[in-house]
Amino acid sequence: MLVAAILASSLGFIDGSVVAIAIPAMRSDLGASLIEAQWISNAYALTLSALILAGGAAGDKFGLRRTLIVGIALFIGASMVCAVAPDALFLIVARAVQGVGAAIMVPGSLAIIAKAYPKKERGRAIGIWAAASALTTALGPVIGGVLLSSFEDSVWRWIFAVNLPLGGLAIYFLAAKVPADAPGETRTLDLGGAALATVSLGALAYGFTVFGTASLLHSAAWVAAGFVVLAAFLVWERRQKEPMVDLGLFASRSFSGANVSTFFLYFALSAILFYLPMLLIAGWGLSEAATGFIFLPLSLAIALLSGPVGKASDSIGPRLPIVAGSLVVAAAFAGLALLTGGGIHSFWFGIFPLMALMGLGMALVVSPLSTAIMTAVEDSETGSASGINNAVARMAGLFAVAAMGGVAALRYASLLGETAGVVPSFGEEPASALPADAESIRLAASDAAFAAVSWVTAALCVLSALTAWMTVPGSGRTESAEDAANPASAE
């Protein structure tokens, strides 16, 4: 069961990081534009972030083992369709279906451990699950990068095809070695809320994606429509007896603040991890194998330091580690902006050390953020609180890829001048060698575009630190939703 849970979670984690490395190869092989490349990532993130709470509830309703098997089967089935996609649009649709499978699979992989192990063994089992998942997440981009560097661009299809044996092995263990569990609850699934969330996030993401390439009115209309549907979602959730999102949890100032910090921080992180590989591979001409190493510091630092940092936050409170970690990440991203904005093309002595600094900062944040979320609510509400925070992090990634594409595209286009009709779009490899002057302009424009993204993300990390400083308790008992509603009880 533990091996199956590790395989299931690893499929979801690896997919996001390896696809970021493979985007330039996909664009070259399929002839995809920057907007299509954004949606290859965002179609998956959209359905995952919108449906992950419903996926967790499905495990309660239908049984964890059965639901997890269905989620894995849907994920690997969609992966096989991704592997044979003839064009970008086909791949985008398949990625959306893959995200639905991940929304069922990801919450079930941890929940089945919590349900199967007694409390005295649960912490050790979850620790093994977290460490193994972090290790596979770290190695995935490195192995994927080696494959992409060694073969033609079409080898990106094998990144999806490898999900078949891994997912098949997970299904075998679950079906043959894990006893069936009875449904834990008879709750109804909030399908209306899930549909409204998907439409709202999709409209917002599309509006942000076309900013800078379509008319301002067109972009604004989609964003406005997204907010209208979001308002309808909130009204719907308030009227449900068993809502997908318990809005009452946001009455806690510390819970709301921790989620806002999560959104800012993961928006910044997702933007960098999506657009940096484009710069390095398509802009600087680095190999995918070398680029894959930028994911190592993040995963290894979290795997090695999360335990000690989590223990320290129990003593001093989560506020200081979150603030310090956010500022360290801000410094790393500001360093990326200065490095690329200055035209310094150094990977091992520039980019990689800054990514290691980013990994250290994220390691300071991850466990304390979870602590802040868990201690801000009553014990009976920790499952809902954790699911909401997970969804917030996924939504941050969705909006980061959508919105920062416009920032990069506008900055890139502003510097092309007379070469605009000759030079390919940001993050796209030239089909053939460019004249020396055009290549120089393309490289400078690529650096400037990524520097603009880096400055925005650095500012968001500072906002994350400020939000945590003002809302997350330093030590002692954290304000819960019940305390917020009854100040006398908190006193």
Residues 195-234: pLDDT tens digits?
Answer: 999 999 999 999 998 886 677 888 899 999 999 999 999 9
String of DSSP letters for 169-221: HHHHHHHHHS-----S--PPP-HHHHHHHHHHHHHHHHHHHTBTTB-HHHHHH
Range with lowest mean pLDDT among 21-30, 96-105, 131-140:
131-140
pLDDT at 483 over 70: no
pLDDT of residue 421: 67
Kindly report, residue by residue over 255-300, the tens digit of the pLDDT. 999 999 999 999 999 999 999 999 999 889 898 889 988 888 888 8
Residue 79: pLDDT band (50, 70, 90) is very high
Of 158, 181, 204, which residue constitutes the final position of a domain? 181
Asked if the model's pLDDT at residue 238 lies above 70, the reply is: yes
pLDDT, mean of residues 429-452: 86
Residue 332 maps to a domain:
yes
On whether residue 149 sits in a domain, the answer given is: yes
pLDDT range class, residue 485, cuts 50, 70, 90: very low
Q: Are residues 130 and 16 in the same domain?
A: yes
Please name which of 400, 281, 393, 301 lies closest in space to residue 347, comparing C-alpha atoms.
Answer: 281
Among 202, 228, 243, give the residue marking a domain's end: 243
Establish if 201 belongs to a structural domain.
Answer: yes
Q: Which DSSP category does 295 fall into?
A: G
| Same domain flag for 223 and 287 | no
| Alpha carbon of residue 280 to chain centroid | 20
Are both 211 and 72 inside the same structural domain? no
Which domain-ending residue is among 146, 181, 216? Answer: 181
Q: What is the DSSP letter of 3?
A: H
Q: How many domains, in total, are found in the chain? A: 3
Q: How many CB atoms lie within 10 A of CB 176?
A: 8
Q: b/e for 12-21, b at 16 or more Cβ within 10 A?
A: bbbbbbbbbb
In this structure, are 195 and 257 located in the same domain?
Answer: no
Residue 476 has pLDDT above 70, yes or no: no
HEC readout, 232-266: HHHHHHHHCCCCCCCHHHHHCHHHHHHHHHHHHHH
Q: Which long-range contacts (CB under 8 A, 24 or more apart) does 225-233 make?
A: 226/200, 226/201, 226/202, 227/200, 229/196, 229/199, 229/200, 229/203, 230/200, 230/204, 232/196, 232/200, 233/193, 233/196, 233/197, 233/200
In a domain, 491, yes or no: no
In this predicted structure, what is the pLDDT of residue 119? 66
251-255, 262-266, 451-455, 462-466: segment of lowest average pLDDT: 251-255
What are 410's two structure tokens? 């506008």
Cα angle 105-274-268, degrees, rounded to a multiple of 5: 90
CA distance 277 to 291: 6
Tell me which residue range forms the domain holding 249: 245-473
Q: CA Rg, the chain, in Å?
A: 22
pTM for the full predicted model: 0.86
CATH number at residue 450: 1.20.1250.20
Q: pLDDT tens across 166-175, in order? A: 899 999 999 9
**Distance between CA atoms of 198 and 385, rounded to whole angstroms?**
20
Q: Where are the alpha helices (DSSP H) in 31-63?
A: 34-62
Same domain flag for 206 and 285:
no
484 within some domain:
no
CB 434 within 8 A of CB 442: yes
Q: What is the mean pLDDT of the chain?
A: 85
**pLDDT at residue 123, rounded to an integer:** 63
Read off the pLDDT band of 323 (50, 70, 90).
Answer: very high
Per DSSP, 380 falls in state: G
Closest CA relative to residue 297, chosen from 362, 249, 240, 239: 362
Q: List pLDDT tens digits, range 355-411.
A: 999 999 998 998 888 888 878 877 667 667 877 888 898 899 999 999 998 899 889
Query: Which of the pair, 381 or 440, is modelled with greater confidence?
Result: 440
Torsion of CA 446, 447, 449, 451, to 10 degrees: 160
Is the same domain home to 59 and 155? yes
Half-sphere exposure of 475 (CA within 13 A, CB side): 6
- 210 and 277 inside one domain: no
Is residue 130 located within the same domain as residue 250? no
Q: Measure the CA–CA gap between 452 and 401, rounded to whole angstroms.
A: 14
pLDDT (0 to 100) of residue 313: 80
In a domain, 358, yes or no: yes
Q: Which residue has the tokens 């044979």?
A: 84
Q: Are residues 99 and 222 both part of a single domain?
A: no
Q: Are residues 210 and 238 in the same domain?
A: yes
Q: In the chain, what percentage of residues exceed pLDDT 90?
A: 40
Residues 295 and 410 in one domain: yes
The amino acid at residue 331 is A
Query: How far is 473 from 310, CA to CA, in rounded Å?
Result: 15
In a domain, 239, yes or no: yes
Tell me whether residue 479 is in a domain. Answer: no
Interatomic CA distance for residues 232 and 237, integer angstroms: 9
On whether both 277 and 232 belong to a single domain, the answer is no
